[in-house]
Structure 1
């Protein structure tokens, strides 16, 4: 289930360009896949993007070298057994019950194609975007020449379940399976010739690095190898107490194998000797694939994914900015598991000068950029440093600092029958403020221009027993902005003119802050109306209270700030209530 190249037309280019060396002692780390389904196959499109397929219609994708995985929804719950991409956009998957999946948009969506067979498709190999082969149960080999629109059954001359297939050219191919089943073709599958790979044990995976040198994974502590294009095969002992279920070779010397109980090993001399590479997992591993930068991923049962932490130094992803102010911004990114440090480069947009900062901890994924200019545009990039190697630098991310900040939060205090104090948060660059307020009803909005000498204003001439709303914005002289946004509306109620001394009366809210129930403690000698309003003055709840303690169920209200008022025949009094959970 491994693919060294995706098109015969690219064969020579691959042989020329793939000179990377897989280390003889790999280091693996286990990562979360987000699923417990058995995972059967993996294909790395690049050192950052890879796809994994498994049972019950599972398809996973990573864009950061295997650190984080997302589920790709598809319209099947059949087991998916193998996957291959021809290029960055076109890919295929082999599925149970004769089903084939195809994508033409880089794996974002997958269409179902039917082969006409009821056998489970175990493996696949495409020599280009149109011509491909599928192997399955009962010796079945299918061929398509039109990208999966139609399939032709080929005579394989075996009835064994065929586990793996590999082509070294448009016409030369190899397929292996149970009980030593081994068939070859030199005419594009017109004829398949049954032969021997030198063993009658189950053959799990076939992999060629060029037209003459190939390997077959098998159990019982052996690997099969040919150096003459499959004419003869040698049984080479692994001498490490285990065999393999899948192989990947970068060239004739350097390769990796995985198998049962988390077993993994690597060779640097063409399978003559092997070194065990601990994976830290105990479940069966089913497949392995590597990218041309030596980043490797292996997958197995129960949602297991392990990645090679030496090979991959992924470019950080998930770049974002939070808590942006006029002079600072919190930069964040996704941690790269192999990173020891990060290098951040930033500058003001349009500037030729940039600043580079090193984060000396690979587990940190935040940086607070300070001393920025108000109302400025900035751009930044980041790369991971993994020991002696570094990732490519991320794409440019841009953000803008706040030019004129909104003077939030605001509040109202010292409320009487005819006056109140309005208070806001001072904005450092404000030249003045504009306050907008009105009484509930049809009264017009009043606009007040206020200086910056203080952050409050005492207003008078209000009507008793009335509800008022107000908000405020800052007026600035900053390039790119002349005013801020409006603050969240605040509301308050002036006191009622009464014949009794209302100031001697008070009511109590508890608990405050509240979660689900708030109690209103009232005088026992009067019937009161209790109202709950949002900060805009909208009445959300209204109940009649005729006991000393009246409970109000606020469990359906969201977290926030509200006004609770009590109203009798002679007065209205309000208090602020906070709901926290």
Structure 2
């Protein structure tokens, strides 16, 4: 009944939404621009899915869906809490924001398989039972399950709101999860149903292991170890001989087990837990994870980059050189030679010789970034503190450190084109490069004020704004600057123009200044707020947006002459805004917040964010090329394609698709362009991922424009997905469609 009510409410809302749009535009039929309606449908679909708390399946087959992904650090900057791997090159990483990152080629390429979106919980552990079935778990009482080798993951609830730490599955059906407040949870039907096993109140339970359906161990706070001989129906405390927190435990045989924890603690039992003794430990580091491949050989990892190894059933251990001092949270070996470790700042290590040598697979830098700008889809710059600068010539796939600005107190950069670049910064710094950033010359010495932003209206006309109301202007591409009087004394943070004569500046205490004479004079405009205003963006001579502290969003429809507020749904500081037209825009801000709109800000959606660090700036070229930068070197790109690769191009290619009419009743034509002759399968899915129609199954289609027809006569009104794939896996696309009866 709850599901029926929810679906009914959704479709009523959908119809009212479209009706209001039609009324607002003064039309009386559905004979309007299909793409415009399609954009609104997209935004409503996103709201619908994000509000479905009992939505258990996520359609993840669309590698061309647009979402935020890491360009730096790569493949993520989030801590890796869990790792597992298979002999055929599959590697899975469990991270915060419910992200599972997968490689199918031993770390050459990485793709985000689940994410981001269904929940913001941190994942602490991940395991594969066989080639198809795997599980991951973490905060919020969630369990993620895959039955197709990690291509898609289903969300299940173990115990809502309860932090879960580690899991152990003996097979596809029988598993246990350790949790907060001394609880263990058990399933015998693959996670569909869970029973609660009480162990000890107020104790956090971390590592858990079972060697068969009866014998199990769980460890936790203050050296606590509990054992069971009946599958967890009864847990009995064992004498560990330590008060150090124990983080993980593993059986080697039914009688022998090893537990590791704080201060390099290693405990061994040879009698099923009746007694525990201390093993020699070569470290005082906090040991987080332990993994054995057989009854003798194992590894453990922990703080300060510690990796230790044993060859004698855990009796003695020796250190291995990991090549890092970062905290390592997870370690996993496929066999005696091939292993993986993961930890803080997205660090991923790999060994192919049993750990004698560890190779850093993750790439990138961790410098805080505050400004980003692109001159085209390929050429861009990102700026950080004290002249830290990175340049890309391939759309952000690779970012190369630039030494030419080291030591300079730069705050903002503008690319007039790929060769002519201007930066501004502290103590009145203004520099220009005419050779793509290889060399720089000072072009202004007239102030010691802090300059926060530089902006060019065209190749000649430019401005810089900063502290104490300073405004600088150039009319020759930045070669010479002079100061403009504004009679405003508070800090100014951003500037943008509607055209060659009209523009606005935003700043402290809700300040908006406007000019209609190319910046020679400025008038104060009413903002209706005292919030600090951080960023402004215009898309044409009418539409513009401003963002600032306390979730402030302002919009103008008359070129900045008057402004009105929009609802952001957050009180966080919003730092930067970018639009590509009057409908599509994005906002970034504190704690990794990402907002998006597809209707000019009438609705702002809180997009799934892959980070929790501050995002400071955003730049957009079109809806498939948007970049955001922030603290810890975070560089994100919003666009098509799940594959994140530094070493070779993605196999998946995009191609044009369209369906008309959309919305439709009951027949629609689906068009698609193929780059080459291909064997194609076309299937239709409903909103919950169920296949409802097959339009083509392994049929030959030719290069160029092709078309098929979809008849929804026997289907209810709603959102449907058309999935088009080829037999070689080279092409794949999904299109959303709306059936309205």
TM-score by length of 1: 0.50
Matched length:
317
| Alignment CA distance shift 1:160-1:386 (3 Å) | farther
Classify the secondary structure of the residue corresponding to 1:261.
helix
| Match in the other structure for 1:32 | 72
Which of residues 591, 596, 618 in structure 2 aligns to 1:261?
591
Which of residues 551, 559, 566 in structure 2 aligns to 1:236?
566
Which of residues 70, 83, 88 in structure 1 aligns to 2:413?
83
1:309 Cα shift?
A: 4.4
Which of residues 102, 106, 124 in structure 1 aligns to 2:454?
124
CA separation in 1, counterparts of 2:530 and 2:571? 19
CA separation in 1, counterparts of 2:505 and 2:390? 27
Superposition pairs for residues 565-580 of structure 1, below 5 Å? none
Superposition pairs for residues 102-501 of structure 1, below 5 Å? 102-240=432-570, 242=572, 244-292=574-622, 294-310=624-640, 334-336=647-649, 340=652, 387-388=732-733
CA separation in 1, counterparts of 2:411 and 2:730? 35
Determine if contact 1:293/1:312 at 8 Å carries over to the other structure. no
Which of residues 373, 395, 398 in structure 2 aligns to 1:43?
373
CA separation in 1, counterparts of 2:551 and 2:622? 28
CA separation in 1, counterparts of 2:643 and 2:392? 14
Which has more helix, going by share of residues?
2
CA separation in 1, counterparts of 2:731 and 2:463? 39
CA separation in 2, counterparts of 1:63 and 1:91? 14
Classify the secondary structure of the residue corresponding to 1:278.
coil
| Match in the other structure for 1:534 | none
Superposition RMSD on alpha carbons, in Å?
3.2
For residues 494-521 of structure 1, the C-alpha deviation after alignment (integer angstroms, 9 at most, x for no partner) is: xxxxxxxxxxxxxxxxxxxxxxxxxxxx
Superposition pairs for residues 7-26 of structure 1, below 5 Å? 24=43, 26=66
Classify the secondary structure of the residue corresponding to 1:220.
helix
CA separation in 2, counterparts of 1:138 and 1:132? 19
1:271 Cα shift?
A: 0.8
CA separation in 1, counterparts of 2:500 and 2:639? 35
Which of residues 77, 86, 101 in structure 1 aligns to 2:431?
101
1:42 Cα shift?
A: 0.7
| Alignment CA distance shift 1:387-1:171 (3 Å) | same
CA separation in 2, counterparts of 1:112 and 1:175? 24
CA separation in 2, counterparts of 1:102 and 1:313? 36
CA separation in 1, counterparts of 2:395 and 2:412? 19
1:335 Cα shift?
A: 2.9
> Structure 1: any 5+ residue segments left out of the alignment?
1-18, 317-332, 344-354, 359-383, 390-581
Determine if contact 1:313/1:386 at 8 Å carries over to the other structure. no
For residues 379-401 of structure 1, the C-alpha deviation after alignment (integer angstroms, 9 at most, x for no partner) is: xxxxx967439xxxxxxxxxxxx
| Alignment CA distance shift 1:93-1:356 (3 Å) | farther
Classify the secondary structure of the residue corresponding to 2:509.
helix
Classify the secondary structure of the residue corresponding to 2:386.
coil
| Alignment CA distance shift 1:139-1:385 (3 Å) | farther
| Match in the other structure for 1:411 | none
1:147 Cα shift?
A: 2.6
CA separation in 2, counterparts of 1:42 and 1:57? 13
Determine if contact 2:389/2:405 at 8 Å carries over to the other structure. no
Classify the secondary structure of the residue corresponding to 1:297.
strand
For residues 458-491 of structure 1, the C-alpha deviation after alignment (integer angstroms, 9 at most, x for no partner) is: xxxxxxxxxxxxxxxxxxxxxxxxxxxxxxxxxx
- Choose 1 or 2 for highest CA Rg: 1
Classify the secondary structure of the residue corresponding to 2:427.
coil
| Alignment CA distance shift 1:290-1:342 (3 Å) | closer
For residues 165-202 of structure 1, the C-alpha deviation after alignment (integer angstroms, 9 at most, x for no partner) is: 00112211100001111111111222111222221111
1:106 Cα shift?
A: 3.1
1:113 Cα shift?
A: 2.7
Determine if contact 1:244/1:257 at 8 Å carries over to the other structure. yes
Classify the secondary structure of the residue corresponding to 1:228.
coil
TM-score by length of 2: 0.40
| Alignment CA distance shift 1:127-1:341 (3 Å) | closer
| Alignment CA distance shift 1:179-1:113 (3 Å) | same
1:212 Cα shift?
A: 1.2
CA separation in 1, counterparts of 2:622 and 2:551? 28
1:231 Cα shift?
A: 2.0
1:293 Cα shift?
A: 6.0
Classify the secondary structure of the residue corresponding to 1:138.
helix
1:36 Cα shift?
A: 3.0
1:275 Cα shift?
A: 1.5
Classify the secondary structure of the residue corresponding to 1:245.
strand
Classify the secondary structure of the residue corresponding to 1:65.
coil
1:282 Cα shift?
A: 1.3
| Alignment CA distance shift 1:387-1:93 (3 Å) | farther
CA separation in 2, counterparts of 1:313 and 1:48? 18
| Alignment CA distance shift 1:46-1:224 (3 Å) | same
| Alignment CA distance shift 1:335-1:115 (3 Å) | farther
Determine if contact 1:31/1:67 at 8 Å carries over to the other structure. yes
Determine if contact 2:584/2:623 at 8 Å carries over to the other structure. no
